[in-house]
Amino acid sequence: MRFILTLLIWLVIIGGLWSYSRQRQAAEAEIVIRNPTLTLAKEVYSLKLTPTFSSEADPFALQTEDSGPVALELRLNGRLLPVPADQLNRGIPWTLEGVEGLVMGDNEIYLAASPPLSEGSLEHGMRVQLARAGVRVVDTTLWSSQGSLVSGTIHFALTAKEESHDH
Amino acid sequence: MRPVIRTLLLLLLCSVLSLSPLSLQAQPASKKLRIVTSTTQIADFTRQIMGDRAEVISVLAPGADPHTYQPTPDDVQLVLRADICMENGLHLEGKSWMATLARDADKPLVTATTGLAPLLVGEGEEAIMDPHAWFSPRNAALYVNNILKAVSGFDPANRAEYQARTRLFLQQLRVLDAWIREQVSRIPPHRRILVTTHDAFNYFCREYKFNPGNDFLSIAPVGWSTGAEVGAGITPERRRKVVQSIKESGAPAIFVETTINPKQIREIAQETGVAIGGELYSDSMGPAGSAGETYIGMLRENVLLIVNALQ
């Protein structure tokens, strides 16, 4: 009799635990992560960078198997944009036409550039301008001090209304 | 209680414990890498990259001299348990003791100075590659990139995390370099005379323009090593040159080092009538809890001492 009672208790506890874990798994499965729908901007945008310094090899740059030292890193919405590290010259704008990856709504540009070490005592900057058919959407200057990188994040929003205004 | 029931109850307890919510949530703990380095500086660089993903242990204790160090049986055991070993190279580790430890234990060895263009000290056939390369933050960046490559190859699954930490540390080194330049600019160029116990500060002097009368290399009575290698140790000729340099340059202060007996420098200070500017971290960082327990802290404290004594 006692043996049957023990077996019964054992079955109830194990069954309860099994039922609990099944319920929890089912609840987790119900949580659906939905990626927000992103609409790419239709218009053609150009990005212009104007540095207060000329780029040179940076001994403090990260070096990996995939890439050598990079003097300028530019990301749009998390994606690296192609940049000409050896073509940045003091006061001379560099322009990227037909910027890809802009979306309607919130956007983010991240920029990090390394001014020459010999000019570490100077405050250096980089002017960042994003334009659509000659109309400026972003015009910001990022600054460095005391030898740090010229770096920063620029947030801006594109709306369908603004895009249609240009036509 | 009958044995059958007792066994069943025990089985029941085991089943309950194995199916409890706690055990359902438990994640398998990932094994930490064990990295053994020769010096405290390389240990700090490695920690900056690895975070908590590795246990990093330096064979040398803070304040120990790498040139004359004799490995102990405990060091052999330490290296036997390591996944990777790291050394400075360029014969900093006297008689290549770290390479010997790693080879005997059949462990991979990473040389942090790989790819560095070393300064040559001494002349002709006696020219020696100076191993104290970490005294320039830009060389430290090369150490860090070499260590990153090695650990990324060993543990590719966490490569992105290692790169992210390295990126931050390299920026800190960059700012440190700019800060040193700003601090050193407070010393008039003709007063930038750095006299230390041994020739450890060549890279520092070359980078920040100390000792213009000595081709921007360090001035010290003891050679590049405190051991018995070629060009190492103290000679009467070296000592005479140091005394002469101090008298000619009018250096206001000279410096002792944390890893070397200060007797020689104290005698020279007495003989020339200059002050002791303080104790510099050289071949080792400071003990835990001290301002020099990290690489950045070590250079920061050295620079503050030097600037205060010489400006």
pLDDT tens digit sequence for B132-142 = 999 999 999 99
* Residue of B10, B20, B147, B171 for testing the chain A interface, max A β-carbons within 10 Å: B171
Nearest CA in chain A to B19: A17
* Residue of A60, A117, A151 for testing the chain B interface, max B β-carbons within 10 Å: A60
Q: What is the 3-state secondary structure (H, E, C) of A63-131?
A: CCCCCCCCCEEEEECCEECCCCHHHCECCECEEEECCCCCECEEEEEEEEECCCHHHCCCCCEEEEEEE
Nearest CA in chain B to A57: B138
Nearest CA in chain B to A69: B145
Among A113-117, B62-66, B171-175, B193-197, which is the least confidently predicted range? Answer: A113-117
- Chain B (148-167) residues lying within 8 Å, Cβ to Cβ, of chain A: 148-149, 152, 163, 166-167
Q: Given pLDDT bands bounded at 50, 70 and 90, which one contains residue B24? A: very low
> Would you say residue B170 has pLDDT above 90?
yes
B24 touches chain A (CB under 8 A): yes
- Mean pLDDT, residues A53-59: 84
What residues of B are in contact with residue A120 (Cβ under 8 Å)? 177-178, 181-182
- Chain A (29-88) residues lying within 8 Å, Cβ to Cβ, of chain B: 59-65
pLDDT, averaged across chain B:
88
- Mean pLDDT, residues B281-297: 96
The beta-carbon neighbor of A13 closest among B16, B141, B142 is: B16
- Mean pLDDT, residues A124-138: 93
Cβ separation B179–A147 shorter than 8 A: yes
> Would you say residue B233 has pLDDT above 60?
yes
Cβ separation A121–B182 shorter than 8 A: yes
Q: Given pLDDT bands bounded at 50, 70 and 90, which one contains residue A159? A: confident
The beta-carbon neighbor of A21 closest among B15, B24, B141 is: B24
Q: Given pLDDT bands bounded at 50, 70 and 90, which one contains residue B127? A: confident
d(CA B246, CA B213): 11
Q: Quote the minimal CA–CA distance from B181 to chain A in Å.
A: 8
Q: What is the pLDDT of residue B52?
A: 96
d(CA B176, CA B157): 31
Does A8 or B3 have the greater pLDDT score? A8
> Would you say residue B40 has pLDDT above 70?
yes
Q: Given pLDDT bands bounded at 50, 70 and 90, which one contains residue B26? A: very low
Q: Given pLDDT bands bounded at 50, 70 and 90, which one contains residue A167? A: very low
**What b/e sequence results for A100-127 when a residue is b if at least 16 CB atoms lie within 10 Å of its CB, and e otherwise?**
ebbbbeebebbbbbbbbbebbeeebbbe
Does A42 or B235 have the greater pLDDT score? A42
Q: What is the pLDDT of residues A65-108, one digit of tens each?
A: 776 667 788 999 999 888 876 678 899 999 999 999 999 999 99
Q: Quote the minimal CA–CA distance from A99 to chain B in Å.
A: 26
> Would you say residue B277 has pLDDT above 70?
yes
- Mean pLDDT, residues A2-21: 85
Q: What is the pLDDT of residue B250?
A: 85
Share of chain A above pLDDT 70, in %: 86
Q: Given pLDDT bands bounded at 50, 70 and 90, which one contains residue B14? A: low
Cβ separation B178–A6 shorter than 8 A: no
> Would you say residue B228 has pLDDT above 70?
no
Q: What is the pLDDT of residue B36?
A: 98
> Would you say residue B28 has pLDDT above 70?
no
Q: In the structure encoding, which two tokens stand for residue B217, read together?
A: 């290399």
d(CA B87, CA B95): 13
B234 touches chain A (CB under 8 A): no
Please report the number of interchain residue pairs, chain A to chain B, with beta-carbon separation below 8 angstroms: 85
Nearest CA in chain A to B141: A60
Cβ separation A64–B178 shorter than 8 A: no
Residue A104: what are its φ and ψ, rounded to 5°?
-70, 140
A134 touches chain B (CB under 8 A): no
d(CA B165, CA A144): 21
Q: What is the pLDDT of residue A31?
A: 60
What residues of A are in contact with residue B174 (Cβ under 8 Å)? 60, 114, 117, 147-149
Q: What is the pLDDT of residue B7?
A: 62
Q: What is the pLDDT of residue A5?
A: 84
- Mean pLDDT, residues A125-148: 91
What residues of B are in contact with residue A62 (Cβ under 8 Å)? 145, 148, 163, 166-167, 170
Q: What is the pLDDT of residue A8?
A: 85
> Would you say residue B8 has pLDDT above 90?
no
Burial of A29 (0-12, 13-18, 19+ CB in 10 A): exposed
Share of chain A above pLDDT 90, in %: 37
What residues of A are in contact with residue B142 (Cβ under 8 Å)? 59
- Mean pLDDT, residues B161-183: 94
> Would you say residue B22 has pLDDT above 60?
no
The model's pTM = 0.79
Nearest CA in chain A to B143: A60
DSSP A17-31: HHHHHHHHHHHHHH-
CB of A56 within 8 A of CB of A64?
Answer: no
Range with top average pLDDT, A6-15, A67-76, A125-134: A125-134
What residues of A are in contact with residue B4 (Cβ under 8 Å)? 3
Cβ separation B181–A6 shorter than 8 A: no
> Would you say residue B124 has pLDDT above 70?
no
Q: What is the pLDDT of residue B77?
A: 97
Q: What is the pLDDT of residues B42-53, one digit of tens each?
A: 999 999 999 999
